[in-house]
Chain A
Amino acid sequence: WSVPLKSVFVTFPGDVIKNMSDTDLAESYLKKFGYMDTLHRSGFQSVVSTSKALQRMQRQLGLDETGQLDTQTLDAMKRPRCGVPDVAN
């Protein structure tokens, strides 16, 4: 009885597995909610570094402002939320 139970894992057809890396997820999130790369119609572009953008996001969401893609930030990015951008442009 001491032999561990063996789990059987199945490949489910049609299962959508998101293979997005943490970095891709972060970049997509920061752009989608207005924290980086705002392009004006005139062509004038305000480019914000990822670290700055992360810091802005962290401040807006009340997280520790580390400017790093840390666990708390990633967790926040994975949480369900409103689709209205935090920084409109």
Chain B
Amino acid sequence: YKTFYRNPKWDHNDVTYRILNYSPDLDSSVIDDAFARAFKVWSDVTPLTFTRLFDGTADIMISFGKKNHGDFSPFDGKHGTLAHAYGPGKGIQGDAHFDDDEFWTLGKGPVVKTSYGNAEGAMCHFPFVFGGKTYTTCTSEGRADKLPWCATTDDYDRDGKYGFCPSELLYTTGGNSDGAKCVFPFVFLGDEYNSCTTEGRSDGYRWCATTSNYDQDKKFGFCPNRDTTTIGGNAEGEPCHFPFVFLGKEYDSCTSEGRGDGKLWCGTTSSYDDDKKWGFCPDQGYSLFLVAAHEFGHALGLDHSNIREALMYPMYSYVEDFSLHEDDIEGIQYLYGGRTDPKPTVPQPNTPTTTDIPDPDETDSTDEPEPEPEPTNRPTTTTSSPLDPTKDACKVIKFDTITVIGGDLYFFKDGHYWRKSRKEDSALKSPMLISERWPALPAVIDSAFEDVVTKKLYFFSGTKFWVYTGKNVLGPRSIEKLGLPDSVQKVEGALQRGQNKVLLFSGENFWRLDVKTQKIDKGYPKYTDVVFGGVPIDAHEVFLYEGHTFFCRDRFYWRMNSRRQIHVMDAEDNEVESSSDAGPSGMEEP
């Protein structure tokens, strides 16, 4: 799992939400229920509670919109991106937006809730039999008023159970007419309309007047989508007209005839041949519940996971019997903790598990209870003899590694090292032989760091590492023992993070090592430039010195302060470039 940069989270557990508008694809009660169930996914495993507000500002404001919908992140029409949400915070943060160019369902095709009739608002049952004929959509057969209806069991002839389907002939939503039905024809800007229209609106929503003259009465409402409402084409969401005639043949249901892509379509008037009005037929649609549960994960502070089965994986896939993946639970509990019920049903966060305990077979003396660290040889007490004092470290184009030991800066190159004392006026000392001070080490050191707690020195060369405690050495050991993959051929940089963690860099990736357990933490590798925005991805040295993080490449270094502001310097310490924007929002904390 991944959380957003700096782990934003709600500072209160009683989170509020408000539904600002509804999609015409689903009955409002179905949408309310889908959102409530989506919140319950998260409240089941955290101490969070979700309370719906009906006015004012809620933490999570939920809305449906199309294309440009007011947040500079326009939707892209049908398919593609389905929704997005913002991490916790004020203003737009925490809000969730759903693309209303999608066809919203519960994942298995149109969800048609009936009203009136004798089925007490039950859902349509498709297919159903009426008069011996099978229907897969609502129909107005058998009614003089043309109101669409459906059976709510599989056989109307047998059970007689029915209800009316959503239709503008029955009611509207939103607007200013309290749900009154459309009046056809109606007049708008002098023109007469016999069906719902998108004219006069830039958001693509279909509407109608609820009196015969909009220009005069200004009364309107939005048209609910019928189960046969078309998508795309040229009919602006008009419902299919069954039967319709195409190339002289009559069709009672959607067809793929005439198309090379196999997509189902229908005519929206009685004759396609005459009117050329058509649209694609509704498909399975996207589950509003599943998409909402994902988006609410963002609204609570979770970023995308790379576990395919996790809810927070960025791709949509329909699952019949949904349950949260362990990865999602770990993520949300990292932010908010587990449920505080007397009998929690899920593991509490940060509870040590057997996997957190180092494998005894892989431990050595460095894993035992920490002994008092032996005094580490300090540069001031080194017995190494100086080499040729004329060797100039400043002429080295590229060091093997640079690190800090005892507060002093060490430069390693081809079996030699230079030391720069932290004292202001201190110059680089003449080069020393690595083999004299650390005889177990090879000539080329790729990376090194000093454990801030135990003062042990870790050296990496190729796929091996050594641990020096004073003059005692352990190693060489394979870096695979630490949990690094065998694809890592060398560790190029090391960066202390707090007391027990060190970031190890190789190529464009880095891993976080728990120095105490000698294991790489879960969730790694990560991309270096994703977390340290603005630094080169091919740095050959990375180290921490006097509170700054340094990334070196050739004769340049990138110096990043704690606020992630970057200064790019050349070897003579001249500033080449600086950035006050090196802490991109949305980046994650290593």
Which A residues are closer than 8 A to B by beta carbons?
7-10, 12-16, 33, 38, 40-42, 44, 46, 48, 52, 56, 59-62, 76, 79-89
Q: Which of B156-164, B388-396, B577-585 contacts A (4 or more CB under 8 A)?
A: B577-585
Interface: B204 (CB within 8 A) = no
4 additional A-B residue pairs with CB within 8 Å, beyond A12-B265, A82-B304: A10-B247, A12-B259, A38-B584, A80-B82
B298 and A42 form a contact (CB under 8 A): no
B298 and A8 form a contact (CB under 8 A): no
Q: Choose among B265, B295, B508 the residue that contacts A52 (Cβ–Cβ < 8 A).
A: B508
A4 to B79, CA, bound (A): 35
B316 and A81 form a contact (CB under 8 A): yes
A88 and B4 form a contact (CB under 8 A): yes
Contact partners of A89 in chain B: CB under 8 A:
533, 584, 586-587
Q: Choose among A9, A44, A82 the residue that contacts B314 (Cβ–Cβ < 8 A).
A: A82
Known A-B contacts A40-B534, A40-B579, A82-B294; A56 and B527 likewise in contact (beta carbons under 8 Å): yes
Contact partners of A13 in chain B: CB under 8 A:
234, 276, 278
Q: Choose among B82, B278, B578 the residue that contacts A83 (Cβ–Cβ < 8 A).
A: B82
Residue of A nearest to B236 (CB): A14
A40 and B80 form a contact (CB under 8 A): no
B82 and A81 form a contact (CB under 8 A): yes
Q: Choose among B81, B84, B276, B308 the residue that contacts A62 (Cβ–Cβ < 8 A).
A: B308
A16 to B286, CA, bound (A): 21
B75 and A61 form a contact (CB under 8 A): no
Chain B 541-582: CB-based contact to A (< 8 A → 1; otherwise 0) = 000000000000000000000000010000000000111111
A89 to B582, CA, bound (A): 10
B83 and A14 form a contact (CB under 8 A): no
B298 and A84 form a contact (CB under 8 A): yes
Residue of A nearest to B580 (CB): A42
Q: Choose among A14, A81, A86 the residue that contacts B233 (Cβ–Cβ < 8 A).
A: A14
Contact partners of B80 in chain A: CB under 8 A:
80-81
Contact partners of B584 in chain A: CB under 8 A:
38, 40, 88-89
A12 to B233, CA, bound (A): 8
Chain B 76-94: CB-based contact to A (< 8 A → 1; otherwise 0) = 0001111111000000000
Contact partners of A81 in chain B: CB under 8 A:
80-82, 314-316
Number of A-B contacts (CB under 8 A): 127
Known A-B contacts A15-B233, A84-B314, A86-B314; A46 and B586 likewise in contact (beta carbons under 8 Å): no
Contact partners of A85 in chain B: CB under 8 A:
586
Interface of A is mostly: loop
Interface: B371 (CB within 8 A) = no
A46 to B566, CA, bound (A): 13
B307 and A62 form a contact (CB under 8 A): yes
Contact partners of A9 in chain B: CB under 8 A:
258-260
A44 to B558, CA, bound (A): 12
Contact partners of A59 in chain B: CB under 8 A:
306
Residue of A nearest to B583 (CB): A40
A48 to B276, CA, bound (A): 48
A88 and B314 form a contact (CB under 8 A): no
A60 and B259 form a contact (CB under 8 A): no
Known A-B contacts A8-B247, A56-B527, A76-B315; A84 and B303 likewise in contact (beta carbons under 8 Å): yes
Residue of B nearest to A33 (CB): B314
A12 to B276, CA, bound (A): 8
Contact partners of B566 in chain A: CB under 8 A:
44
Contact partners of B291 in chain A: CB under 8 A:
82
A62 to B102, CA, bound (A): 26
Residue of A nearest to B530 (CB): A87
B83 and A83 form a contact (CB under 8 A): yes
A38 to B291, CA, bound (A): 28
Interface: B529 (CB within 8 A) = yes
A83 and B81 form a contact (CB under 8 A): yes
Contact partners of B234 in chain A: CB under 8 A:
12-14
B83 and A40 form a contact (CB under 8 A): no
B32 to chain A, nearest CB (A): 22
Interface: B216 (CB within 8 A) = no
Contact partners of B286 in chain A: CB under 8 A:
80
B276 and A42 form a contact (CB under 8 A): no
Contact partners of A42 in chain B: CB under 8 A:
577-582
B82 and A61 form a contact (CB under 8 A): no
Interface: B5 (CB within 8 A) = yes
B519 to chain A, nearest CB (A): 21
B83 and A82 form a contact (CB under 8 A): yes
Interface: B47 (CB within 8 A) = no
A46 to B587, CA, bound (A): 15
A87 to B276, CA, bound (A): 45
Contact partners of A38 in chain B: CB under 8 A:
533, 584
Q: Choose among A40, A83, A86 the residue that contacts B73 (Cβ–Cβ < 8 A).
A: A83
A10 to B316, CA, bound (A): 32
Contact partners of B258 in chain A: CB under 8 A:
8-10, 12
Chain B 505-542: CB-based contact to A (< 8 A → 1; otherwise 0) = 00010000000000000000001011001100100000
Interface: B415 (CB within 8 A) = no
Contact partners of B315 in chain A: CB under 8 A:
61, 76, 79-82
A81 to B298, CA, bound (A): 14
Interface: B185 (CB within 8 A) = no
- The 5 A-B pairs with the shortest beta carbon distances in the complex, nearest first, are A88-B586, A14-B234, A83-B81, A83-B84, A10-B258
